[in-house]
Structures are given as structure tokens and as C-alpha cells.
Structure 1
Amino acid sequence: MRSRAFALTHPHSSGTALPTYSFMQPRISAFPKCYLEQIAGPQPTMTVFEWIEQSRQLDADGLEMYDGFFRSLEPAYLDSVGAAIEATGRRMPMLCCSPDFTNPDADARKRAVDKHIQLIEVTKRLGGAGAVCRVLSGQRYPEVARQQGIGWVVECIEQLIPIAREHDVILGIENHYKDGFWKYPEFAQKQDVFLELVSAISERKHFGVQYDPSNAIVAGDDPLDLLRHIADRVVSMHASDRFLAEGTTLAELKQNDGTLGYSPNLRHGVTGRGLNDYDTIFRILAQHHYTGWISIEDGMNGMGEMAESLAFLRRKIAEHFA
């Protein structure tokens, strides 16, 4: 089985590059979906530093960040965030970002590209070479036709690939539902649109897929079918699980567009106990020699469940990636 090397180099440290480590197994990161509003909302009640400190209780190798967690993109501030992460003995392998590349306003799309160039630089500064910077397609504006939207997204991402290559950062497009601060759901939420978009971008070293099986369920699609189509392009993964409320079926939750959305009858819970078949997911990833990061996106029912989810991932990684 081949391994992937991660360079742990942080400009905010002493200036000396840390060694490059090669891991034979996927590594686990933690993302505080439970605290998204508290840290990144319009009236924050928690800082990213408080989350970093609280994360010490979790068995994770890394901490995924969200660009909305940062109060500034100034080097001194970012270095203080990086130093706080390093103080826990971890790194930032993934930066969660939500660019809107389908905005009908060409100037807005340009601003989104320019902002993402900054975030690629942030990813390199905090995560080092090989870190993943998430990209999305954008919002599903009612007036934007499918082919027009795909064209805009491809155009924007292809502008970013040379920047990602320069910084040795990987762009990971997620099969997403909806950024919490967006008006409309994801343009490429449905599998057929997502696959068409991914296949339109030929770059494979600095662009790939951030796979999220729970988002496939929310889209009304089969997570395993999606994975079989994109397994050779997965560069990072979000792990969580969904549970149906008692007496509810998936068919009952489907909306007119075939998606489920964030129905109150589709609930969060401990990863590995819900609708996702993680044994098959990990078996497919192992067959494709996956050695990237798996980020637990959880905690909606408390940190105790996040700890249980992380323990589940540890067991399954040891079982399937030995």
C-alpha cells in the first residue's frame, strides 16, 4: 500500500521546517460543527482558541478549521492560531471554505476567486504542504441554468489550480448540501451534477473530492454509489452519521427536487450507528489506497458523542487500513 507524505511546515514556528512524515493509514481530524454558530455566527460567543483548547479532550490527530472562525487573515493573528493548534500536538490538515462560484454577478465571482486565493495561502500557512482547502460549486440560484453554472464553476476552479500548485495545497470539492450562511442549497448537490462537474476538471494532483457520505444521504443519493464513482479522486473526507426519526422513512422525506434537505426527522448521532455503511465505505477507500485525512464533523448532541465517533473511526481505520 502506498503512503502519502505530509510536510508539517508552519511559518509561525521558529522558521525551521518540520520533518515530513509518511502515514500508511488515514489520519483523523475533528471539526466542531456543533459550535459553528457560536464561533462563526454574526454574534459569536466563543473563540477559535477556546475550541482549540477544548479539543484537547478528543483523540484526534488534527483540527480542521473553517475560514469563518478567523477574526483576521493577518499573518500575526493566523500565526497565533497556528501556535495554539501546535500546542495541542496537532496540525491543521483541512480548511473548510465556502466559495460561491455560481453567483450570476461576474464581479461577485471574481471576488470569490480572489478571496479563495487568500484562503489557499492561509491553508499553506497553517497546514503546510499537502493540506486540503475546500471548494464548493456555489449556490443553486433559480436563474442559473445547469450548463451555465458548471461553466462558471470550472472557470473559477481552473483559475485557482495554478495557485494551489504553487503552494502545494490540494483543492477538495465537497458533495455538499448548503453552507449555513447561504440562502440557497448547493448548486452541485445532486450526484449527477456533481459528477459532471468533477469530470470536467482534469487536474488530479492539486484538485480532488472531499467526500461526505452524510451529504449524499441529504441529497437523496446513495453514498456508496457516489463513492464508487469518485473513489480514485478522494483527497479528504468528512465523517458523520444520520438517523431517521422513529416511524420515518427516507422516501417520506424526499422533496420535489429529490433531496431531503435538513429535515428535523433526519438527525445527527454517533458515527457508525446510523444510515452510513462505514465498513463498505472504508473497504472501498482502502482498495484505492486512501491515506488522506478523515475529519469527524459531529458533536451536535454534545462532545461525548464526538468522542464516541472518534473512537469508532479509530477502530475502523485499524480494521480496514492495516
Structure 2
Amino acid sequence: MGPSRRKFLKQTGLAGAALTISQAKECLADPPAGEGPMPKAVLPRRHPIGVSTYSFWQFRGERLGIPACIDKAAAMGFDGVEILHVQMQDESNAALQAIKRQAHSLGLALMGLSTHQGFVSPDPELRRTNVQKSLYQIDLAYRLGIPTMRINTGRWGTIKSFDDLMARKGIEPPLEGHTEDEAFGWVIDSIEKLLPRAEECGVVLGLENHWGLGRTAEGVLRIVEAIKSPWLAMTLDTGNFLEEPYEQMGRMAAGAVPIALVQTKTYFGGGRWYSLDLDYARIATLLREDGYQGWISLEFEGNEDPATGVPKSLELLRKHFS
């Protein structure tokens, strides 16, 4: 090493090191007499980022199996996988344990199960059937070692086509002769029947802002705050608020009930039903300020090939949530 380089290190690196050591000694020194212990510095935590298997399929073409999605997620550099239940091709215990083994061998967490059910119906037998379906799904999450499961309120079904529903921004009229207040009672009663099993299995239910009575933050909060259970939280989907998205996300994040999982939509290549120009710097700040430290799950909903659109989405999320 030449003399000029040594001189430079002395003037910069060593001086900086001395300053760092001096600061460290100050932090480790005993507090002044009469004062309590000095508070420990809290380092910011990195959000782990997973991907929903929906991102690789989007209900288009032949149903892509979960093992193939896990391989893709690992190759692209994700931390975990959220499984879309309707995408599962084999629900035998042998298949479930093989999925767990595969994910573990690739260093991936199975961090979410995304399910569908509907409790918005005046027919008690139909609601009972959906309760039984959801109890079965909780058992699936338990056997997969998944800690949180997305649930929905369901919807009226008065608009038959999902494309038409999206064209109307998710708004549909109640069934003739019934009211939304009545429907909230059906949903609350049905979800309460799930909670003993959720507690037994250690699976936190996350009610999502996902059309139906959960189309707005107010609807989601009305249900979870009425139930008040540590086994019922919320799943926040950034792409499902079509009016005042940041205000509504803020209301969910600041509520008394915690968020179990954040699903993040991206639309490279244009959205299938719509595209939202979401400001993820703003969303990340909003969540951080309200204390959310959990998983971020990508739901890629763009028309671009997932082989390129999903890695672009991961890069975007890493930029703002890491």
C-alpha cells in the first residue's frame, strides 16, 4: 500500500472509525447518576415479500398448480408464497406435506391462504354450507403451516357477470326485500362460527376489502369491530379501493383491529379490468406510520407476461418496502 493511500485512510476511514467507537462507548456507558437505563435503539425492519400464486395464473388458461408456482417464486427471489385455494389441484394430506417440504427446501415461507366464501344470503342453509367450507379451509391452512387465511364477506349476486360488476366499481343492489343491515348480521354471525376453529388451529382470519360488504373500509371495519376477536384481523388489498384509496387504506391501517396481511396489486401491461396508478412510496409510509411490520404479498394483475411482469413488480415492492 502506497504512502498516499495510508494517509488517506488515516484521514478518512480511521477518523470515521474513531468517531464510531467513541459514539459506541457513549451508548454503552453507564447513565448519569439518578437517571434510568438509556433506551435501546430500534432498527427499522425489512418487510418480507411474498407472491400470490394467483399472479402466475389470474384465472387464465389451464390452472397452474401450486408446486410450479413455488418454483417460479423461488427462482424470482421472493421470500414466501401465498396460496390461492381454488388453484390447488390436490388437497390430500400427502400433497399438502409435499408442498410444505418443497417450499422449505427452497427457503420459502408459506405465509397466506387466500380463500373464497359467501355469507351474504338470506338462505340459512347456504350460509351454513359456506361456514363448513371455511372450516375445512382453516384445516387446510393448519396442515400447510400457514398462519393467516384471507376470507370474504361474499356478495349479493344481483349482478351476475364479474366483468359487469367491475364496470360498476363493485357496487350492486341488495336482493329485493332485504337490506345491507340485515346482510351485515348474516356475515357477523357466520364469521363468529369460524373463530373457535381458527383459535384451535392458530390461523388468523383476515377479512379482505374484496367487494360485497367489504367493498369499503367502513364495511370491513364494521364487521371486525363488532366481533372483536384476536383471531379475526384484516387483509388489506391495495387494488380493491376504487374511490379514495389512500384514505380508505389509512382508515383500515389506523383501526383498532390489526392487519394480518397486505396484498399489493400491480398492473404492468395494463390491468385486466382496470389499472390503478398506486403510489407505493405513499402506501409504504402510511403502513409504517401505523405500525404494520408484516408480510407484503404481490397480486400481479397486469396483462404483461408474468415471466417479466412479476419480477418487475418484486423490484418495485423491494424499493419501497425494504
TM-score range, shorter chain: 0.7 to 0.9
Preserved contact between residue 174 and residue 211 of structure 1 (Cα < 8 Å): yes
In the alignment, does 2:138 pair up with 1:112?
Answer: no
Aligned to 2:227, the other structure's residue is in SS state: coil
For residue 236 of structure 1, report the CA deviation from its aligned partner.
0.6
Distance 1:167 1:45 in 2: 29
| 2:135–2:194 CA contact under 8 A, matched in 1 | yes
Alignment-derived partner of residue 304 in structure 1: 308
Q: Does 1:228 align with 2:250?
A: yes
1:208 match = 233
Matched, 1:145 2:145: no
Note the 1:1-322 alignment, pairs <5 A. 24-31=45-52, 32-37=54-59, 44-128=62-146, 131-141=147-157, 142-143=174-175, 144-177=178-211, 186-203=212-229, 205-217=230-242, 221-232=243-254, 233-241=258-266, 264=273, 266-267=274-275, 275-298=277-300, 300=302, 301-302=304-305, 303-318=307-322
Q: Which amino acid aligns with 2:107?
A: G
CA–CA distance in structure 2, aligned partners of residues 74 and 312 of structure 1 = 36
Supply the RMSD in Å over aligned alpha carbons: 2.4
Aligned positions, number: 255
Greater share of residues in helix: 2
SS across alignment from 1:93: strand
Shift of 1:78: 1.2
Quote the Cα distance in structure 2 between the aligned partners of 1:152 and 1:89.
41
State the distance in 1 between where 2:267 and 2:183 align. 29
Aligned partner of residue 46 in structure 2, secondary structure: coil
Say if 2:55 and 2:300, in contact at 8 Å, map to a contact too.
Answer: yes
**Inter-partner Cα distance in structure 2 for 1:45 and 1:154:** 33
Unpaired stretches in structure 1, ≥5 consecutive residues: 1-22, 178-185, 246-261, 268-273
Structure whose CA Rg is larger: 2
Partner of 2:40: none
In the alignment, the residues of structure 2 paired with residue 293 and residue 138 of structure 1 have an alpha-carbon distance, to the nearest angstrom, of 24
Work out the CA distance in 1 between the residues paired with 2:269 and 2:100. 38
Task: Report which structure shows greater RCO (CA 8 Å, sep ≥6).
Answer: 1
What TM-score does the superposition give when structure 2 sets the normalisation length?
A: 0.72
State the identity as a percent: 24
Deviation, structure 1 residue 192: 3.6
Q: Is the 8 A contact 1:34 1:299 kept in 2?
A: no
Q: Residue type of the partner of 1:77?
A: A
Alpha-carbon distance between aligned partners in 2 of 1:244 and 1:206, rounded to the nearest angstrom: 38
Q: Distance in 2 between matches of 1:95 and 1:140?
A: 24
What is the aligned partner in structure 2 of residue 13 from structure 1?
A: none
> AA paired with 2:64?
M
Following superposition, the deviation at residue 263 of structure 1 comes to 7.6
CA contact (8 A) 1:299 1:305 kept: no
**Structure 2 residue matching 1:187: 3-state secondary structure:** helix
Quick one: which amino acid aligns to residue 286 of structure 1?
Answer: R
1:170-223 superposed Cα distances (whole Å, 9 cap, x missing partner): 10011114xxxxxxxx233134433322332212x2211111121102xxx212
- Are the aligned partners of 1:29 and 1:64 in contact in 2 as well (CA < 8 Å)? yes
Residues 217 and 252 of structure 2 are in contact (CA less than 8 Å); yes or no, is this contact kept in structure 1? no
Aligned partners of 2:226 and 2:311: how far apart in 1?
A: 38
Counterpart of 2:248, as a letter, is: L
Superposition deviation, residue 242 in structure 1: 5.1
Structure 1 segments (4+ residues) deviating >3 Å: 241-245
- Change in 2 beyond 3 A, CA 1:206/1:56: same
Provide the residue aligned with 2:28 in structure 1: none
The separation in 2 between residues aligned to 1:277 and 1:116, in whole angstroms, is: 34
- 1:255 corresponds in structure 2 to none
| Aligned AA (2:189) | E
TM-score of the superposed pair, with normalisation by structure 1: 0.72
The runs of 5 or more residues in structure 2 that have no matched partner are 1-43, 158-173
* Comparing 119-128 and 160-169, the one that deviates more: 119-128
Distance 1:166 1:45 in 2: 32
